[in-house]
Structure 1
Amino acid sequence: MNAAAPAAPRLTLPEQSGTALPSVSWNQEFCHGAWVLSSYADVSTALRDPRFSVQRSRRWINSSIDPARTDRTQRIAEQHQLRAFKRILSRSLLFLDGHSHTRLRRVMQAGFSAAALQRQAPAISAIAERLIQQILARASVNASGATVVEFDFIRDFARPLPILVIAELLGITLDGHSGFVAAASAIAAFIGSPTPTMPLALAAQEALTQLLTHFHHEIALRRTQPRDDLVGQLMEAESTGAISAMEMLAQCCTLLFAGYETTRHLLGNGVLALLQHPLQWQALQASPERLPRALRELLRYHSPVQYTGRRLTADLEWHGQQLRRGQLVILQIAAANRDPQRFSNPDQLDISRDEGNHLAFGHGPHVCIGATLTYMEAELAMRALLRALPDLQLQPQGWRWDSNDAYRGLTTLPLTCVIAPPAVQVSTASSEPRHG
């Protein structure tokens, strides 16, 4: 779909709303029925409330089994088919509450401290520069005598950069990107389906199993050749009994997937939004120090994660509605970030906006552990783009939005840029990325 103002994916707040949001509503499309919270106040409150539990992976995966099936034996057999999927996800930090969540988060936090991430900054900058040099190396002279490069920003930059960065952080080598991208797509397809099907669940299980096998081999090598990186830190925690072997593997798989999806969508969505608002792109060129605030606005404007889910651990009344223990609640992050009761002119992109926190990374005890890494990664990448490709322009047609409901992102974003001679000269000295 090519359009200057694409409609938001279904089940999310339309991008041009300007209206107040319903406090709570029932939606049958989510896993055969769920309550939906959409206002900023409700979503932020629920994200902090322990009665809204993240421990929902097993029932969520089981929801892919056709509820109309009357053959109990077949239902049990299908649940058994998905046991590997449930075993991995149920041990991920994303789906743990209470003491288990606190324990795992404490172990992982060392790898995401400010000091640890600052040590990664040179490597992130180098990866961004290498990718840009590969783009510049394809520049050619057009009929008017100008040196121009045309490229797909998603394929050539937004997709490979987070893969390489998270691989660097974990200390692993990915032999090519295609296998990982296919695995990530299968997992994202399951997560992004309001009511997943058995084929989607089995494909996601196979993808996670592939990642698990990769880390099994990696960790086996590390037993005799230890390294000081995030995988090494998780292995140390496992050796002391702080986490189990399956918890260690589950975190590795989750980090590899989650670190990729959010960052690539932030980069793609952010560049599209800025080029659709060229005065704001030019303002960043003139004052790159405005990038931290601009990134917060870009995350609010196009939330990479559109919604998240919770299971109720107790009955409660919410705006006059009786919500029951065990029911699913969908928290509409994208809608909350466009709530006119919270943000002035919410459908307007304003990189100078200073109206408090967005909810793109969640809120409360389960706020995204990699949020600081994503911010740093995006800022370093955007600085490199502003410096090397200041005259970026959208090609008239061609960008496409993914149909995924949970993730707001582009599958393709064709761009063009007139290149100054010094940049072209630098581009001829490009080198291949270290990983893949």
Structure 2
Amino acid sequence: MTYYGQLIADRRARPGDDMVSALIAAEIDGQRLSDQDIGAVLLLLGVAGNESTTKILGNAWYQAAVHPGQRRIAFQPGRIGDWVEETLRCDSSGQMTARLVTSDVEWHDTVVPAGSRLLLIFAAANHDPRVFPNPEMFDLDRDTSRTLAFGTGPHFCLGASLARLEARIVLEELVAAVHEDYGVGTPVRVHHPNIHGLSSLPTTVKAR
């Protein structure tokens, strides 16, 4: 945030053709973003564009390793997209988000009053048996169209398409480079309230 603060100050003094300058110049109904607002956007883009994508790749590699039947499917032509989507549903790198309730809303016979802070655990929603049969099963043949890994509605993740593209490209290159029967050692997990993934996953592969 210290770096972002210096960057924002520099762009306020010397605007350029870049995103920070565009955020500084943005205006809606006479209101502009504060330095704190702009810093939060930059922090979000930096974390979401790096941490979540690398973690979903590790999770995909691990899930395929411990489900050899599904790994066989994942390594077949045209199935990388299914591998990515089922990982997003079953073992997403993002776990939850918080929201401020702006008006009274009723969910499942419970009224959540305006002003409440609500923690939405979308990783749990992706294991809802009313939506996904046998939700704990890693299954590349399932319908993942209702996955909430990237949110929904006006809060849908801005970088969802890029994250999916990055994940597909990396896995496509790995599948092209190594044989299906790779092995993994003991995974070391990251302990974080929201980011779910691995800090290391020892892997043994055989080049094609």
Mapping of 1:285-324 within 5 angstroms? 285-287=75-77, 289-324=78-113
Kept in 1, the 8 Å contact 2:186–2:202? The answer is: yes
Kindly state the Cα deviation for residue 400 of structure 1 after the two structures are TM-superposed. Answer: 1.7
Residues 331-390 of structure 1 deviation map (CA, whole Å, 9 limit, x = unaligned): 121111011110111111111222522000001101100101100111111111111123
Deviations 1:51-89 (A, max 9, x none): xxxxxxxxxxxxxxxxxxxxxxxxxxxxxxxxxxxxxxx
TM-aligned CA distance change 1:251 to 1:269, over 3 Å: same
Match of residue 204, structure 2, among 416, 419, 424: 416
How far, CA to CA, are the matches of 2:83 and 2:73 in structure 1? 10
CA distance in 1, matches of 2:189, 2:204: 19
Letter paired with 1:256:
G
Given the superposition, is the C-alpha separation of residues 330 and 250 from structure 1 closer, same or farther in structure 2, using an over 3 Å criterion? closer
Query: Who is 2:120 aligned against?
Result: 331
Amino acid at match of 1:268: G
Deviation at 1:265, TM superposition (A): 1.5
Q: Does the 8 A contact of 1:392 with 1:415 survive in 2?
A: no
The number of residues matched between the two structures is 204
Quick check: 1:262 aligned with 2:80? no
Partner of 1:163: none
Residues of 2 paired with 1:214 and 1:300: CA distance? Answer: 38
Mapped to 2, the partners of 1:252 and 1:303 lie a distance apart of 22
Pick aligned residue for 1:406 from 187, 194, 202: 194
Cα deviation digits, residues 17-72 of structure 1 (max 9, x gap) = xxxxxxxxxxxxxxxxxxxxxxxxxxxxxxxxxxxxxxxxxxxxxxxxxxxxxxxx
In 2, distance between residues paired with 1:212 and 1:378?
27
Q: Work out whether residues 402 and 410 of structure 1, in 8 Å CA contact, stay in contact via their aligned partners in 2.
A: yes
AA paired with 2:67? Answer: H
- In structure 2, the residue matched to 1:192 is none
Number of the residue aligned with 1:388: 177
Question: Given residue 210 of structure 1, which amino acid in structure 2 is its aligned partner?
Answer: T
- Displacement of 1:285 after TM fit? 2.4
Shift of 1:298: 0.9
Secondary structure of 1:358's aligned partner: coil
Shift in Å, 1:304 = 1.4
Question: In the alignment, is the contact (CA less than 8 A) between 2:95 and 2:123 conserved in 1?
Answer: yes
Matches within 5 A, 1:138-157: none
Unaligned residue ranges in structure 1 (runs of 5+):
1-208, 421-436
Q: Does 1:238 align with 2:24?
A: yes
Alignment-mate amino acid for residue 270 of structure 1: A
Residue 353 and residue 217 in structure 1: after superposition, are their counterparts in 2 closer, same or farther (change >3 A)? same
SS at match of 1:344: coil
Residue 240 of structure 1 deviates from its aligned partner by 6.4
Normalized against structure 2, the TM-score is what?
0.84
The structure that has the greater radius of gyration is 1
Partner residue in 2 for 1:85: none
Separation in structure 2 between the aligned mates of residue 417 and residue 401 of structure 1, nearest angstrom = 21
Post-superposition shift, 1:220?
7.6
Query: Alignment RMSD, CA only?
Result: 2.6
- Tell whether 2:33 aligns with 1:215: no
Which ranges in structure 2 are unaligned for 5 or more consecutive residues?
none
Amino acid aligned to 1:321: T
Q: Relative to structure 1, is the Cα distance of residues 326 and 237 closer, same or farther in structure 2, using a 3 angstrom cutoff?
A: closer
2:89–2:126 Cα contact (<8 Å) kept: yes
1:150-202: CA deviations, max 9, x gaps?
xxxxxxxxxxxxxxxxxxxxxxxxxxxxxxxxxxxxxxxxxxxxxxxxxxxxx
SS of equivalent residue, structure 1 residue 418: coil
In structure 2, the CA distance between the partners of 1:383 and 1:405, relative to structure 1 (3 Å rule), is: same
Out of 66, 84, 97, which is 1:276 matched to? Answer: 66
Q: Percent of pairs identical after alignment?
A: 29
Q: Which has the higher contact order (CA 8 A, sep 6+)?
A: 1
Structure 2 match to 1:377: 166
Deviation (angstroms), 1:213: 4.1
